[in-house]
Structure 1
Amino acid sequence: MKIAITGTGSYIPTEVTKNTDFLDHEFLNDDGTPFNHPNEVIIQKFESITGIKERRYATKNINTSNMAYFAAEKAIADAGIDKEELDYIIFAHNFGDVTEGKGQGDTLPSLATRVKHQLKIKNPKCVAYDLMFGCPGWLEGIIQANAFIKSGIAKKCLVIGAETLSRVVDKHDRDSMIYSDGAGATIVEAKEDSGQILAHNSATYANGEAYFLFFGETYSKENEDDHRYIKMYGRKIYEFAVIHVPKAIKECLDESGVDISEVKKIFIHQANEKMDEAIIKRFYKQFNQEMPVGIMPMNIAKLGNSSVATIPTLYDMVRKGKVENQTISKGDVVIFASVGAGMNINAMVYKV
């Protein structure tokens, strides 16, 4: 049985925030003290490390589940299926619907249920549930959809990754410049004349690594609200990722039986350009090879890090010719890989 991604769709928010828009921010250390360097220097260093020049934020009237619905509509149309035939809607996110200015995530009802409601799907046998797995959530959703279809309990699944990280960031934390909003959706189904999932690999490291990403207080000591914001130990995450992710990708490729020379593209979670490059270089080093030019499509420069949405939006854009100098064709072997809060890692080898 061949199980494939037969349709893709994405929603890219319309509000563009450039690095220069952070020049007037009051960035602070975690103890509340100001940085010794001016914002111009902080931003310049940030851009050289992450590769991010601008990012997209959702407008006030649009929430995570709305973006997901827009992306889902496109994926369903792209696959040419009847939405009433969907057996599962799997929605990967981490913070729920966060209303602008509120700071509290809303997950009642589940975001998957909200998308089903917006799609006006009448079939009660279409089961909708949310998945929290950090940034690798969308890919874990694909892995679950693959298992459902293999087992015979499903034929068609909608897998979504969406987030509005702009609403859970501390404006006094320079890491807030990393995060963005967006949504990507995919249809997964058994189809003989389409692509094929060849292998997958997942892992959770929680023996000391569990809180590398966490919810914490603002760095501003003058702010007395009790809101919590996304925080991370960036150096620890970098060191963890460059050690463990290349190994996970190699294990997955070895399991697939595909030779490294057959891999055409690697779609890695758009977290940090330097980190992503280091991961893929180390992956190829395991085969005593240099990282091929153009193997790793990137859109982080303009879209930032939208967590679970980065891979499905990037894949959709490359698939539809919207990333400069990047294309994929039927029969190409590609790899998906991600790392994120948990600390979770996953990888998948896929034949387009």
Structure 2
Amino acid sequence: MNIKITGTGSYIPDTIEKNEAFYEHTFLNTDGSIINYPNNVIIEKFQAITGIAERRYAKPHLNASDLGFFAAERAIEDAKIDPETIDYIIVAHNFGDVKYNTVQSDMLPGLAVRIKHSLRIKNPKCVAYDILFGCPGWIEGVIQAQAFIKAGMAKRCLVIGTETLSRVVDKYDRDAMIFSDGAGATIIEATEDEGGILAHETASYTYDEAYHLYFGNSNNQNLNKDTRYIKMDGRKIYEFALIHVPQAIKTCIDNSGVAIKDIKKIFIHQANEKMDEAILKRLYRLYKTEIPEHIMPMSIQTLGNSSVATVPTLLDLVRNNKLENQSLNKGDVIIFASVGAGMHINAFAYKY
């Protein structure tokens, strides 16, 4: 028995927010003072570092559970399965449903419950639950699905990553330009087909690193102090990722028994283009070998950072030949890896 991804689906919102839309924003330092650079300079520097030129925002009437439902429908259709045969629905997110122009997160009932309801699945044995694991949530959901299947508790799981980060950003913070909305979904199931998940690695660094990402006050000191927004210490996250993520990926590859030269693709969480490139360089430096061309697909330039949705969305795009110079062939060994709030890191090796 092998455990494989048999279907993928994604939902990329229609609303495109280009960097030019931020030219009229008022960007403030954390102490509330004005940043002493014109906005065009701030935005040009931002794009040079992150690679982001535009991002996607959900339409006002849609919430994270809606986006997850759309992606799930497409994954189910792609896998050609009866949704009543799904044993677990695992939904990774960070903020639940945040309705447009509100400040309150709604997670009762959980997003997995809402998505199961929208899919009109009647089977009570289909267990639906949420996972809060920062940006690595979808990967951790896949690892959990694999564990359920290996333990004989399930044969087929639906794992979703969905988020509307545009609704929890502080518009006075330059980091607001990083975040976006979207959803990705996958069917994970036991199969006799060759390939599947070969190895995985997960770690949580919480001693000094727990609050690199957190919910904090607006940079605008005049706003309500009880309203919180997603905040991060970008420098600390960058340094953490460069130290720990390459080693975690290497451990996963080594445990898979596959040589680095045989890895065909590496799907890394789309957090920051320069950071992902630096992670890749350090990984290949550990193996003392050159980086192959086109090994790391990227979507952050046009989709931004949609947290748990970035990796499954990227996989769906590549599977459907929607990224230039990127494709997958049967037998390819690929790596999935992520880093995010917690601080959590994880990875799994997979034979396509």
Whole-angstrom distance in 2 between the partners of 1:225 and 1:214: 15
Whole-angstrom distance in 1 between the partners of 2:266 and 2:330: 15
Kindly indicate whether residue 145 of structure 2 is the aligned counterpart of residue 138 of structure 1. Answer: no
The 3-state SS of whatever aligns with 2:275 is helix
1:158-188, CA deviations, whole angstroms, 9 ceiling, x for partnerless residues?
0000000000000000000000000000000
Q: Which residue is equivalent to 1:339?
A: 339
Kindly indicate whether residue 253 of structure 2 is the aligned counterpart of residue 264 of structure 1. Answer: no
Q: Which residue is equivalent to 1:122?
A: 122
Which residues of 2 match residues 1-352 of structure 1 at below 5 A?
Answer: 1-193=1-193, 195-224=195-224, 226-352=226-352
Whole-angstrom distance in 1 between the partners of 2:314 and 2:31: 36
**CA positional deviation for 1:224:** 2.6
- The answer to whether the 8 A contact 1:10-1:313 is kept is yes
The 3-state SS of whatever aligns with 2:202 is strand
Whole-angstrom distance in 1 between the partners of 2:237 and 2:228: 20
Q: CA RMSD in A?
A: 0.7
**CA positional deviation for 1:292:** 1.6
**CA positional deviation for 1:136:** 0.1
Whole-angstrom distance in 2 between the partners of 1:224 and 1:161: 31
**Given residue 37 of structure 1, which amino acid in structure 2 is its aligned partner?**
Y
TM-score (normalizing by structure 1) = 0.99
**CA positional deviation for 1:227:** 1.2
Whole-angstrom distance in 1 between the partners of 2:136 and 2:6: 20
1:94-126, CA deviations, whole angstroms, 9 ceiling, x for partnerless residues?
000000111211000000000000000000000
**Given residue 74 of structure 1, which amino acid in structure 2 is its aligned partner?**
R
- The answer to whether the 8 A contact 1:6-1:194 is kept is no
Whole-angstrom distance in 2 between the partners of 1:119 and 1:111: 12
- The answer to whether the 8 A contact 1:249-1:337 is kept is yes
Whole-angstrom distance in 2 between the partners of 1:323 and 1:194: 26
The 3-state SS of whatever aligns with 1:235 is helix
Whole-angstrom distance in 2 between the partners of 1:28 and 1:318: 38
- The answer to whether the 8 A contact 1:5-1:195 is kept is no
**CA positional deviation for 1:291:** 1.7
Whole-angstrom distance in 2 between the partners of 1:135 and 1:264: 23
**Given residue 169 of structure 2, which amino acid in structure 1 is its aligned partner?**
V
Question: Which structure 1 residue ranges, 5 or more long, are not aligned?
Answer: none
**CA positional deviation for 1:26:** 0.3
**Given residue 244 of structure 1, which amino acid in structure 2 is its aligned partner?**
H
The 3-state SS of whatever aligns with 2:185 is strand
**CA positional deviation for 1:194:** 5.2
**Given residue 112 of structure 2, which amino acid in structure 1 is its aligned partner?**
A
Whole-angstrom distance in 2 between the partners of 1:330 and 1:176: 39
**Given residue 53 of structure 1, which amino acid in structure 2 is its aligned partner?**
A
**CA positional deviation for 1:225:** 5.4
**CA positional deviation for 1:222:** 1.9
Whole-angstrom distance in 2 between the partners of 1:156 and 1:196: 14
Whole-angstrom distance in 2 between the partners of 1:265 and 1:153: 31
State the identity %: 66
**CA positional deviation for 1:55:** 0.1
Whole-angstrom distance in 1 between the partners of 2:74 and 2:195: 19
The 3-state SS of whatever aligns with 1:113 is helix
Whole-angstrom distance in 1 between the partners of 2:192 and 2:175: 45
The 3-state SS of whatever aligns with 1:227 is coil
Moved more, 186-195 or 8-17: 186-195
**CA positional deviation for 1:74:** 0.4
Whole-angstrom distance in 2 between the partners of 1:17 and 1:144: 34
Whole-angstrom distance in 2 between the partners of 1:308 and 1:142: 12
Question: Which structure 2 residue ranges, 5 or more long, are not aligned?
Answer: none
**Given residue 99 of structure 1, which amino acid in structure 2 is its aligned partner?**
K
- The answer to whether the 8 A contact 1:212-1:236 is kept is yes
Whole-angstrom distance in 2 between the partners of 1:351 and 1:278: 25
**CA positional deviation for 1:287:** 0.6
**CA positional deviation for 1:192:** 1.3
TM-score (normalizing by structure 2) = 0.99
